[in-house]
């Protein structure tokens, strides 16, 4: 037995007991006549003591050779600690070591294994197995486990069955690039790794498995950012004999359950907002509703006043920033520079300060009177002490740019509080979106999404106006889940493929297996998929998913720890009938 207790559980109740502990050496403090060693495992830290009055000379000499990250097993007695540490669960006691074994030595680690480390992110990614020993990373992985268990508990209690689906599948167009896997046994043919289990979960509905879920890896070969990895995890769910309301109710319940069990937060309301309303009020389809700054369209108030910057644009839109009239000119100039960055791409920013005395001062006083500016204030909801910020340009681009500014200000002003949670359903998405490059419509979600029944006739005449029977669950400005009611009959699905530009032959080649299945009595069905990594990060008070993944990739999609992806040798390439053309 390597240990009778962990390094996090001993306290004053154990004084006088003989114990055995195992773990890593966190730190050694050698005073000559006395040596203290902090011993760490994933449960906590216990102080060990070697004392020349109570320890043998051989034991003291042996202890002098200990260093950081040595793996040791110790046996000793729990004694009361003279200098207690109230910040440590084991801070009332220490273990007087009677014997110990070095189970494994360690070279000096490349960075200190402590909460506040001297290791930069690149270095810690290379030695991720060491980084996991640090509390901030270790605790995030434990937190992820707790969230996964709560998801499984809730869905199981609701009658869902967890079913695994294949990783080696057929490449199908789902919006992002596939990762492909060559087949040695089938020369010149390739598997794809699934972007989602979409078609399989629909086939499970055909198979009568009316409540399915899976916590599953998915793969997309696309550009990366803080909340995106080439391999990511979804909570994938599907239900048969349901409509949209059934699904929204079940997964509101899941979200409430997670917030209550994980964060001890009760949430009653899940507001609903159409896609059009979200874009009009917030400039994106995943708005953070924890704070205001709703958009106000100012065309009627700002145009035709001789200010060409506004007069010539499709949209003039503004927001009121609370308590920001005190911003200095330098601070406002910094905001203007921020929106002009390539990542945002705006041409500029007009501002108006609503002073506490009721007067207004703006960057366009030459063109607008006090009454004009007061009308801006009324439309944006500004109050004395607020700052009005206005942008103009192409409607879609300007809304996107102002949305980025709104979120930036939310962060800068501390309005996006990690301990506040505001869920929101966004519904009635467009079924199709126009792609300028291909000059045709593409499915906004995927080709199996059902159109709203009342909009179906518009597919022939005004396809861009057709609404999807689709919904996204948004939490704190992040899409954490999205889904739809699916098409469940062959005729409608064939029509949808036609509208998306598939020939009958292409549709059969790509999705013939699904169309065939629909001939055998497919039930009405729909579902949702939660981005599990993102959900865990938000519940954990962060927006970057990387530290909540045990072995993440960097921004170039590389695992710098194992140096992947890597080249194959010629023998492997020959086996796979592949030739590189670089």
How confident is the model at residue 346, as a pLDDT?
95
- Is residue 372 marked as binding? no
| Least confident span in 23-37, 308-322, 496-510 | 496-510
How confident is the model at residue 555, as a pLDDT?
87
| Least confident span in 107-121, 154-168, 370-384 | 107-121
- Strands (E) in 287-422, as ranges, are 296-297, 315-321, 350-354, 360-362, 387-393
How confident is the model at residue 340, as a pLDDT?
96
Half-sphere exposure of 454 (CA within 13 A, CB side): 1
Q: With 90 as the cut, is the pLDDT of residue 96 above it?
A: yes
Judge contact between 580 and 190, C-beta under 8 A.
no
Q: With 80 as the cut, is the pLDDT of residue 445 above it?
A: no
How many helices (H) and strands (E) the chain has is answered by 17, 22
Tokens of 355: 């002073």
- Is residue 174 marked as binding? yes
The span from the CA of 348 to the CA of 209, in Å, is 55
How confident is the model at residue 40, as a pLDDT?
97
> Which 8-state DSSP code applies to residue 72?
E
> Between the CA of residue 183 and those of 286, 557, 575, what are the distances in Å?
40, 23, 9
How confident is the model at residue 68, as a pLDDT?
96
**Banded model confidence at residue 532, pLDDT cuts 50, 70, 90:** very high
Residue 72 pairs in a beta bridge with 23, 102
- Is residue 290 marked as binding? no
**Banded model confidence at residue 365, pLDDT cuts 50, 70, 90:** very high
pTM for this entry: 0.91
- Is residue 304 marked as binding? no
3-state secondary structure 483-517: EEEECCCHHHHHHHHHHCCCCHHHHHHHHHHHHHH
Where would I find the H helices in 167-287? 198-206, 244-263, 275-282
How confident is the model at residue 447, as a pLDDT?
86
The span from the CA of 113 to the CA of 68, in Å, is 9
- Is residue 479 marked as binding? yes
Q: Nearest Cα to 156, choosing from 228, 214, 71?
A: 214
Place of tokens 């710098």: 560
Q: With 80 as the cut, is the pLDDT of residue 342 above it?
A: yes
How confident is the model at residue 570, as a pLDDT?
92
* Mean confidence (pLDDT) of the chain: 93
How confident is the model at residue 55, as a pLDDT?
86
- Is residue 462 marked as binding? no
How confident is the model at residue 62, as a pLDDT?
94
How confident is the model at residue 394, as a pLDDT?
95
Q: With 70 as the cut, is the pLDDT of residue 501 above it?
A: yes
Q: With 90 as the cut, is the pLDDT of residue 18 above it?
A: yes
How confident is the model at residue 19, as a pLDDT?
97
How confident is the model at residue 173, as a pLDDT?
66
How confident is the model at residue 498, as a pLDDT?
82
Q: With 90 as the cut, is the pLDDT of residue 363 above it?
A: yes
pLDDT digits (tens, 9 = 90+) for 457-496: 888 788 888 899 999 999 999 999 999 999 998 888 888 8
Angle at 530 (CA atoms; ends 528, 533), nearest 5 degrees: 165
pLDDT digits (tens, 9 = 90+) for 181-223: 999 999 989 999 999 999 999 999 999 999 999 999 999 998 7
The span from the CA of 408 to the CA of 293, in Å, is 12
**Banded model confidence at residue 175, pLDDT cuts 50, 70, 90:** low
- Mean pLDDT, rounded, for 558-574: 93
How confident is the model at residue 349, as a pLDDT?
96
| Beta pairing, strands 423-427 & 272-274 | parallel
- Is residue 333 marked as binding? no
Judge contact between 39 and 25, C-beta under 8 A.
yes
Positive or negative torsion for Cα 98, 104, 108, 110: negative
- Is residue 331 marked as binding? no
The span from the CA of 521 to the CA of 21, in Å, is 61
Q: Is the peptide bond before 565 cis (omega within 30 degrees of 0)?
A: yes
Q: With 70 as the cut, is the pLDDT of residue 408 above it?
A: yes
Q: With 80 as the cut, is the pLDDT of residue 542 above it?
A: yes
pLDDT, greater one: 439 or 75: 75
How confident is the model at residue 174, as a pLDDT?
59
pLDDT, greater one: 253 or 547: 253
- Is residue 486 marked as binding? yes
- Is residue 491 marked as binding? no
How confident is the model at residue 496, as a pLDDT?
84
Place of tokens 């009342």: 454
- Is residue 534 marked as binding? yes
- Is residue 533 marked as binding? yes
């Amino acid at each position: 037995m390597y240990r009778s207790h962990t390094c996090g559980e001993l306290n004053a109740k154990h004084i006088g007991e003989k114990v055995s502990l195992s773990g890593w050496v966190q730190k050694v403090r050698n005073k000559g006549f006395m040596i203290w060693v902090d011993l760490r495992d994933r449960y906590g830290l216990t102080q060990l003591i070697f004392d020349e009055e109570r320890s043998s000379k051989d034991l003291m000499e042996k202890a002098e050779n200990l260093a950081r990250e040595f793996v040791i097993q110790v046996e000793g007695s729990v004694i009361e600690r003279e200098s207690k540490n109230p910040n440590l669960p084991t801070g009332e006691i220490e273990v007087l070591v009677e014997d110990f074994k070095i189970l494994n030595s360690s070279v000096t680690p490349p960075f200190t294994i402590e909460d506040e480390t001297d290791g930069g992110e690149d270095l810690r990614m290379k030695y991720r197995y060491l980084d996991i020993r640090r509390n901030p990373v270790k605790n995030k992985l434990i937190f992820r486990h707790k969230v996964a268990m709560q998801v499984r508990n809730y869905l199981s209690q609701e009658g869902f069955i967890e079913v695994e689906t294949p990783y080696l599948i057929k490449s199908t167009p789902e919006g992002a690039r596939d990762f492909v896997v060559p087949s040695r046994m089938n020369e010149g043919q390739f598997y794809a790794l699934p972007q989602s289990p979409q078609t399989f979960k629909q086939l499970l509905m055909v198979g009568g498995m009316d409540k399915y879920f899976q916590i599953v890896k998915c793969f997309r070969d696309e550009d990366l950012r803080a909340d995106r990895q080439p391999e990511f995890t979804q909570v994938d769910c599907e239900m048969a004999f349901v409509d949209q309301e059934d699904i929204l109710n079940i997964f509101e319940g899941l979200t409430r359950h997670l917030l209550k069990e994980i964060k001890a937060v009760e949430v009653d309301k899940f507001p609903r907002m159409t896609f059009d309303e979200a874009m009009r009020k917030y400039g994106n389809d995943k708005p953070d509703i924890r704070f205001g700054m709703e958009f106000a369209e100012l065309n009627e108030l700002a145009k035709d006043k001789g200010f060409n910057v506004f007069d010539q644009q499709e949209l003039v839109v503004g927001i009121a920033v609370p308590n920001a009239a005190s911003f200095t000119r330098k601070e406002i100039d910094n905001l203007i520079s921020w929106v002009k960055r390539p990542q945002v791409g705006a041409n500029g920013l007009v501002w108006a300060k609503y002073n506490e005395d009721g007067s207004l001062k703006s960057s366009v006083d030459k063109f607008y009177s006090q009454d004009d500016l007061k009308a801006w204030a009324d439309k944006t909801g500004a109050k004395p002490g607020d700052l009005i910020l206005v942008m103009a340009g192409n409607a879609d681009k300007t809304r996107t740019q102002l949305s980025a500014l709104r979120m930036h200000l939310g962060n800068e002003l501390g309005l996006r509080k990690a301990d506040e949670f505001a869920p929101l359903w966004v519904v009635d998405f467009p079924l199709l979106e126009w792609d300028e490059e291909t000059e045709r419509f593409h499915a906004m979600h995927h080709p199996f999404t059902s159109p709203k029944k009342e909009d179906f006739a518009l597919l022939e005449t005004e396809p861009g106006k057709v609404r999807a029977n689709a919904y996204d669950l948004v939490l704190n400005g992040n899409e954490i889940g999205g889904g739809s009611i699916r098409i469940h009959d062959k005729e409608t699905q064939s029509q949808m493929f036609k509208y998306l530009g598939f020939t009958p032959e292409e549709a059969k080649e790509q999705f013939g297996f699904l169309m065939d299945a629909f001939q055998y009595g497919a039930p009405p069905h729909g579902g949702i998929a939660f981005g599990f990594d993102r959900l865990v990060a938000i519940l954990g008070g962060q927006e970057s998913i990387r530290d909540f993944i045990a072995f993440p990739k960097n921004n170039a999609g590389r695992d710098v720890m194992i140096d992947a992806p890597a080249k194959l040798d010629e023998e492997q390439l020959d086996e796979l009938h592949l030739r590189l053309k670089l």
